Amino acid sequence: MNGQRPHGPLAGLTVVDLGTITAGGRTSQFLADFGATVIKVEGPRRPDPFRHWSGVTGEAGAGDLASPPFRVVGRNKESVAIDLKTPEGIAVMRRLVEEADLVVENFRRGVMEKLGLGFDTLSSWNPRISLLSISSQGADGPERDYVSFGGTLEALGGMMAVTGYGPAEPTWTTSKVNYPDQAVSLLAPGLALWSVLVARRRGRGVHIDLAQRETVVALLGELVTLASLTGTAPVAAGNLAPGETGLCLPARGSDEWVAVSLTEEAQWRSLAAAAGRPELTADERFATPAARRAHHAELARELAGWSRQHDKMDLMRTLQRAGVPAAAVLRAWEVEREQESRGDPLHVPVPTFDGEPETQVSWPFTIDGDAQPAIYRRAPRVGEDTVKVLRRLGLEQDRLDQLLHVGVIADCTPPVQKRSSE
Amino acid sequence: MMDTTPYPTTLRVLEVGHTPRTALCGYLLAGVGASVSKLVAAGAEPESDPDRAEWARAESLYLDHGKSVRTVPAGAAAGTAELDGVDVVLAGSETHLNDLLGTDAAGLRAAHPRLIVALATLFGRSGEYASYAGGDLLALALGGLLSMIGERDREPLRLGGHQAENVAGLALFTGVMTGLFARQTSGSGALVETSAVRAVAYLDWKSQIYYADRGVVLQRGSDSGPLVLECADGYVGFYYRDEEWSQVKALVGDPRLEQERFATQLGRDKHREELAAILNEFSRQLTRSELYHRSQARHIPAGPVLGMAELASDRQMVAREFFGTRDVDGVPITVARLPWTVDGVRGGQP
């Protein structure tokens, strides 16, 4: 595993990864999964905070591989520990950049320039380098330095205004999901690859400034246009959508649900019949699509007596057979099982420090051909590959020893806890 | 302006049929300089629901901008002549390919070895769900994300807009770029395939890994830490963390926050309702803007909940020139532009 060079679709791409936590880390993880050589640069004394993340469960665990989400975003990468606040560290960084195609970063704005790693500098070292900068609000503007997390970007980007049980209950996805980070992590790898294609074509790279807040708005772009066209701004309306009566009906068990989406009259009649409640179709409260949307809570209550008696998978299948769009509301582990059983596996085993593999979500799409995404190695410890990578760049052993001695670079930092559960 | 578009005349994309996911992908590809043509079947039933019709119009105005859209008679496949010089074909289902090109994904790959065929279905092409009826809400359900949104004691909640479609579109965009990158060295095209369910499940990866790690089941709901506070004119997402607590106390200036029960994050979470009541008492006296800027001055991550009609006048958005105005039938319409700049230049509409 370790030392094996990638042969995926992105083989030949070299990335210097200054990405941290999700937005930067998961972007470069995608590139690594698909075969790029991704060199993660961390401070010897200030590694990626995702290695010690308590933001989801309140527990950080101990050791630099204790954090489950870090073990995902760190996979397939090499870790090089460099103190970028020293001139010697910047000189080492220069060696990395000279041999790379792309730098990915999501520091707070201004940090790259403060470190002496602005795009102009990177370009002067390597004109073909591209820089992908991911930030909350972009590289400029009066609020570029404001602190943000995914949740605040959902507010600032309009998502919370259209997500909620009603207009007075704006709802965010919380740190358990952090939608802006995840959406950006799907878009950013594509932009990164485009920037490298640009550089290879014209001989000089580009600087992409990708703003997470703007990405959220872009994913609501049709609603912005709709508000402008009609003069009425869409607001949160539970599971309703324009022209659609969306319902979540309780199923048998605790917190089990089936989602139903009605867009046609025939679907409504079929739902009422399947529920053994054909009389509801004659009820004035539910007589038209608009009436059903206006009384959706009452409609859900009327149907709950029936739906609670059934397993969510049975409800889904029964309703689909009757021509009613319906789907069981699955949890993550159920998705894994379902995808597997349908012959469309979405998960892969990934080695861990103690050698016992764990299951992780694999890739967002499949691609045919011989060159395939793969798991090459587990997430690295801080500086685990420092010496190997810098030797590969041609640094002499004497120089490495010297840099190690003065703390400009570092190799593994013992001790490590193998798994957060231990 | 620097030349930042590598394929202004050479990368050609054919979008076959309409789905929101492929429309978004095509829009993004056009945004990086591709020439995008779109084939849609003529004679489709007009949308009878006025709300859906309006939404569809807005969606088309937004996502089809800059594309060359052509209608062809329904059932009369335009044929593979459409593919001359095309690098990328986007489709939301094989039905669209068969109806409009007279072939399927495998047929395209076989006949055009350098072509990137990019397919994004809702529920996958095989297995039980492939033939299911439904849309965005159901893809959120089957991909696991729906179970994570909303409050714990209430029903799961969809995200606004159609985010399952969108994440499939984003995945497809990155898939196309991956195929193009690989083609540079291999000379061969590729079939890139995703589904809304797959893309949603990829997005909800944290739920999966915490469960895989030691069986932790993440539950939907705002049950710890950050709070949504009410202001005089709306709401603010108040994303304070333990390290910001001293600043929160200084900001609010209420002696009750000094009580022992609020001294730790555990305590604040345990007494969440009482804490929210105190903070709301304070925040209701302020506008969203006041609370936002005062919080940020203390480095407390906070953000006002902005509505669709408010975004374009936001000072950060204005400074960044993120919105543009287009003339639609003589009426100026606000449109979002691309969410990135290249060497400082904003692309996309108007």
- Total-model pTM: 0.96
Q: Is the pLDDT of residue A362 over 60?
A: yes
Segments of chain B assigned to CATH 3.40.50.10540: 12-205
Environment class of residue A254 by beta-carbon count within 10 Å: exposed (0-12), middle (13-18) or buried (19+)?
Answer: exposed
**Domain A14-218+347-410 fold:** Rossmann fold (3.40.50)
Q: Which residues of chain B have pLDDT under 50?
A: 1-4, 6-8
> Which CATH number applies to B12-205: 3.30.110.40, 3.40.50.2300, 3.40.50.10540, 1.20.58.760?
3.40.50.10540
pLDDT band at A420 (very low <50, low <70, confident <90, very high): very low
Among B126, B132, B193, select the one facing A365 at the smallest CB separation. B193
Q: For A17-21, A299-303, B119-123, B221-225, which range has the lowest pLDDT when averaged over its residues? A: B221-225
Catalytic residue among A101, A181, A385, A411: A181
Answer yes or no: same fold for A14-218+347-410 and A245-329: no
How far apart, in whole angstroms, are the C-alpha atoms of residue B126 and residue A285?
39
Q: What is the mean pLDDT of chain A?
A: 93
Residues of chain A numbered 315-344 and touching chain B (CB < 8 Å)? 320, 323-336, 338-339, 341-344
Q: Has A181 been annotated as catalytic? A: yes
Q: Is the pLDDT of residue A216 over 70?
A: yes
Task: State the average pLDDT over residues A43-69.
Answer: 85
Taking the domains of chain A in order of start, what are their residue ranges?
14-218+347-410, 245-329
Question: Is A233 close to B309, i.e. CB distance below 8 A?
Answer: yes
Would you say the ipTM is above 0.90? yes
**Domain B227-304 fold:** formyl-coa transferase, domain 3 (3.30.1540)
Segments of chain B assigned to CATH 3.30.1540.10: 227-304
Chain B environment of A304 (Cβ under 8 Å): none
- E strands, A57-126, are 77-82, 102-105
Q: Is the pLDDT of residue A421 over 80?
A: no
How far apart, in whole angstroms, are the C-alpha atoms of residue B132 and residue B123?
7
**Domain A245-329 fold:** formyl-coa transferase, domain 3 (3.30.1540)
Pairing relation of β-strands B88-91 and B116-121?
Answer: parallel
Contact A36, A14 (CB under 8 A): yes
Contact A379, B235 (CB under 8 A): no
Q: Is the pLDDT of residue A150 over 70?
A: yes
* B47, B320, B321, B338, best to mutate vs chain A, most A CBs in 10 Å: B320
Q: Which residues contact A299 (CB under 8 A, 6 or more apart)?
A: A245, A247, A280, A285, A286, A292
A262-278, pLDDT tens digit by residue? 999 999 999 999 999 99
Question: Is B206 close to A333, i.e. CB distance below 8 A?
Answer: no
pLDDT band at A344 (very low <50, low <70, confident <90, very high): confident
pLDDT at B223: 79
Q: Is the pLDDT of residue A422 over 70?
A: no
